[in-house]
Structure 1
Amino acid sequence: MTFKSGPVFGGILLVLLALTYFSLISVVAYLSLLGLTGTISFRIYKNIVQAVQKTGDGHPFKEFLELDVSLPQNKVKEVSEVAVAHINAAVVELRRLFLVEDLVDSIKFGVLLWTLTYLGAWFNGMTLIIIAWVALFTLPKVYEANKTQIDANLEIVRTKLAEITSKVKAAIPIGKKAEEKKEQ
C-alpha cells in the first residue's frame, strides 16, 4: 500500500507546495513542460535504440495512443446528476440556515463561520489544503493504531454535544416551537 500511495502523496504534496509560491498557470505550464520534455526525450531515445539495434518496435507510446480516453456519456450524466443533487441539497440547507428556519442550527452555523474567520486569519487556503492532504494520508494510520482510545473520546464528545444542544434547545423558546411544529 505504501509503495502505491507514496508517489501519489509526494507528487501532489509537491504540486501543492509549488502552488504556494507560484501561480496556478505557472505550475501547470511547468509541469506540462516537464512531462513533454520527458516524453520527447524518451521517444528520441527509443528511436536511437531502434536504429542502432535495427529493430522495428515502432512507436514507444503506441499502446497509450490507441487507448480510448473519451468519457462515456452515461457515466458523465450519472456523475453530473449526483453533483446536481448535492448542490441542490447544499443550497436548500444554506437557505434554511441563513433564513433562520431553526434558531439553534443557525447559531451553530454562525459559530462555525466565526471559527472559520479565525482559521482564515491564521492560515491561508493553500496551507489548509496542504494540512488536509497530509492528514488524509496520516490520520487513517493513527486511527488504526489508537482506535479504542479515539472511539472512546469521540463518544464522550458526542454525548457532551448532544447534552449541550438539548439544553440550548430547552432554554430557547423558539427552538421549542420549531420542535412542536415538526412533531405535529
Structure 2
Amino acid sequence: MADPMTQSTQISSSQGLNDGHTAKSKDSKFSVYDLVHWRDPKKSGVVFGLSMLVLLSLAAFSMISVVSYLLLALLCVTISFRIYKSVVQAVQKSNEGHPFKALMDKDVTIPPETFRKHVDLCLSYINCALKKMSRLFLVEDLVDSLKLAVVMWLMTYVGAVFNGITILILADILLFGVPPVYEKNKTQIDHYIGIARNQVNSTMAKLQEKLPGAMKRCKTE
C-alpha cells in the first residue's frame, strides 16, 4: 500500500505540471482576435508594422522583387549569425554545435489529418460561395440580386480611384485601427449601427413592396 504522503506529493506534482502545461499552451496561443485588439501591444505592433512594410513594398515594387528581397534579407541574417557563432566557437574552442539545431529538429511537416481538415473546411466555404453566387446571378431573389448590382456598381467607382494594393493597405489600417476604437465606444457605435440597419431594412421593405411581382421572403429562424 502506497504512503498517503507520497500519493499526495505525486498528485500535487502532476497537477502542477498540468497547470504549467495549460498555462504555457494558453500563452503560446495568440489568436488574430488578440492581435487586432492589441492585447499584447508589442506583438500587434510587430505584425502591423511588418504587414504595412510588405504592402507598401508591393505598392512600390513587383511581387517577385519584394519576395526576393525578403528571402535575401532572411538568408543574410541566418548566414551572418551562423558565421558569427562558428567564429565564437572556434575562438572559445567550444563544441556547441549548429546554432539552429533546436529549430532544425522541430517537425515542420503538415500532418495529413490537418491538411485534410483544412481542405474540407475550404471546400465547404467554396461550395457555400458557389451556391450564393448561383442564387444571386440566376435571380432567385430579385431584391438580393439588385443589392449585388448596386454594390458592384459602387465598386466600379472604388476601382477607378484605388488599386488593389491601396485597398489592401486601407484594409490593414482598418483591421488594426477599428477594433480598439469599437471596443472603447461599443455602446454608441452599436446604437448608430442599429439605427442605420433599421433605416436600410425599412427602405428595402418599401422597395420590395413597390416592385411588380416581387414576392416577400419568408425568413426562418
Normalised by the length of structure 2, the TM-score is: 0.79
Higher relative helix content = 1
Equivalent in the alignment of 1:134: 173
**Moved beyond 6 Å, runs of 4+:** none
Unmatched 5+ residue regions in structure 1? none
Match of 1:108 among 125, 147, 151: 147
Residue type at the aligned position of 2:76: T
Residue type at the aligned position of 1:102: D
1:126-153 alpha-carbon deviations (Å, 9 max, x no partner): 0000110111111111111211110110
Unmatched 5+ residue regions in structure 2? 1-39
Equivalent in the alignment of 1:36: 75
Larger radius of gyration: 2
Equivalent in the alignment of 1:160: 199
Normalised by the length of structure 1, the TM-score is: 0.94
Residue 174 of structure 1: CA displacement?
Answer: 2.6
Residue 172 of structure 1: CA displacement?
Answer: 1.4
Match of 1:175 among 214, 217, 220: 214
Q: C-alpha distance in 2, partners of 1:65/1:138?
A: 37
Distance 1:17 1:58, change over 3 A: same
Contact 1:103 1:174 in 2 (8 A): no
Residue 121 of structure 1: CA displacement?
Answer: 0.7
Residue 54 of structure 1: CA displacement?
Answer: 1.5
Aligned CA RMSD, in angstroms, stands at: 1.5
Please give the secondary structure, in 2, of the residue aligned with 1:175: coil
Match of 2:57 among 11, 18, 25: 18
Pair 1:79 & 2:142 matched: no
Match of 1:61 among 100, 103, 116: 100
Equivalent in the alignment of 2:137: 98
- Count of residue pairs the alignment pairs up: 181
Residue type at the aligned position of 2:74: G
